[in-house]
Amino acid sequence: MNDHDQYSATEFRYSSMEYRRCGRSGIKLPAVSLGLWHNFGAVDSSDNARAMLHRAFDLGINHFDLANNYGPPYGSAESTFGEIYARDFVPYRDELIISSKAGWDMWPGPYGNWGSRKYLVASLDQSLRRMGLDYVDIFYHHRPDPETPLEETIGALDFIVRTGRALYAGISMYPPDLTVRALKNLRSMGTPCLIHQPNYSLLDRWVEAGLLQVLAEEGVGCIVFSPLAQGLLTDRYLSGIPEGSRAARDDSYLSRDQITSDVQARVKRLNEIAAARGQTMAQMAISWVLRQPAVTSALIGASRTSQIEEAVAALEHPGFGTDELAAIDRVLIG
């Protein structure tokens, strides 16, 4: 792709994607959303980043998820996104749901981390500048802060929505009990929580022990991150660690030690179940998280356009039979 290439979204972008209602809200999200945690930093190819955003949007993925510290370096995924947005996506702003977050380390000193009002508001203002946006659609507190009073963090989310910096508020990685408190707090301020963002995959099912039930009861949406367990739940590592994969990169949170022979053996067996369903391993992993009615969207990452195409094609497949779910459970538990 060269500088002169003009992007114009296909008119068929909404013809095959499934849109699911986000809790009891007015918003629907695509069943597959794209996150920019990896492969959109200053160290990565911006042509590839641009190609992935184009392909995603053409396939109906109209939700892009960011955070202040995605990169590397921190902030650079938002800058890359901002450049591509300015060039290609401005005409589509009202078709997009763009999210950002703060809660992990971002800048030095006591105000660049965790959950103070000082940090959240300043961080979102920086994110908006990097992305060249007037507002984000969703702003999340990225993780619970055990020291800052919940009321302060939640008050900051309410302020952020009231001042027009974000249209909706979200929380990420809050456990069930704290989620209940946060939702109550937000509701009492008149800013209902739109969505929760926890991790969920075949290899990590913690949300099944209470959180999904809370969200369903409270009418809050749920977008689950790392449904492919960062690539473990694909065919990528079935016979080793390929060059260029996330586990081979020094700047990633997927380490070589996580590719154990036990994980490889389980994924091989899951891969056989997927093949019998007519899906790839990655596709079955995505269909599996989406089988939960409380899950609104599977938030994937990608390093190339073909991975996005493969993920979206997972939606063509019907749901799971009880025999299939039992066979999967035997692999996971056995």
114 binds ligand NDP (CB under 6 A): no
CA dihedral 180, 101, 31, 27 (to 10 degrees): 70
Residue 190 CB, nearest distance to ligand NDP (Å)?
25
Helix (H) or strand (E) holding 170: strand 166-172
38 binds ligand NDP (CB under 6 A): yes
271 binds ligand NDP (CB under 6 A): no
Total site size for ligand NDP, rule CB under 6 A? 28
Task: Give 165 or 246: the residue with its C-beta nearer to ligand NDP.
Answer: 246
142 binds ligand NDP (CB under 6 A): yes
Beta carbons of 23 and 296 less than 8 angstroms apart: yes
Task: Give 65 or 78: the residue with its C-beta nearer to ligand NDP.
Answer: 65
Task: Give 73 or 91: the residue with its C-beta nearer to ligand NDP.
Answer: 73
Listed residue (94, 115, 98, 97) closest to 106, CA to CA:
115
Listed residue (44, 92, 43) closest to 64, CA to CA:
92
Listed residue (16, 18, 41, 48) closest to 31, CA to CA:
18
Residue 133 burial by Cβ neighbours in a 10 Å radius (0-12, 13-18, 19+)? buried
Angle at 283 (CA atoms; ends 279, 334), nearest 5 degrees:
85
Listed residue (302, 234, 271) closest to 45, CA to CA:
302
Tokens found for residue 47: 């042509």
41 binds ligand NDP (CB under 6 A): no
Helix (H) or strand (E) holding 78: helix 76-84
Q: Please name the residues in contact with 60: beta carbons below 8 A apart, sequence gap of 6 or more.
A: 13, 14, 15, 16, 17, 19, 30, 312
From candidates 27, 29, 30, 35, binder to ligand NDP by CB under 6 A: 35
Task: Give 183 or 300: the residue with its C-beta nearer to ligand NDP.
Answer: 300
From candidates 53, 56, 60, 65, binder to ligand NDP by CB under 6 A: 65
From candidates 215, 284, 300, 312, binder to ligand NDP by CB under 6 A: 300
245 binds ligand NDP (CB under 6 A): yes
Stretch that binds ligand NDP, among 24-32, 78-86, 151-159, 295-303 (CB under 6 A): 295-303
From candidates 51, 299, 315, 328, binder to ligand NDP by CB under 6 A: 299
Task: Give 32 or 328: the residue with its C-beta nearer to ligand NDP.
Answer: 32
**Given the rule CB under 6 A, which residues bind ligand NDP?**
35-38, 65, 142, 172-173, 197, 225-231, 234, 236, 245-246, 282, 299-303, 307, 310
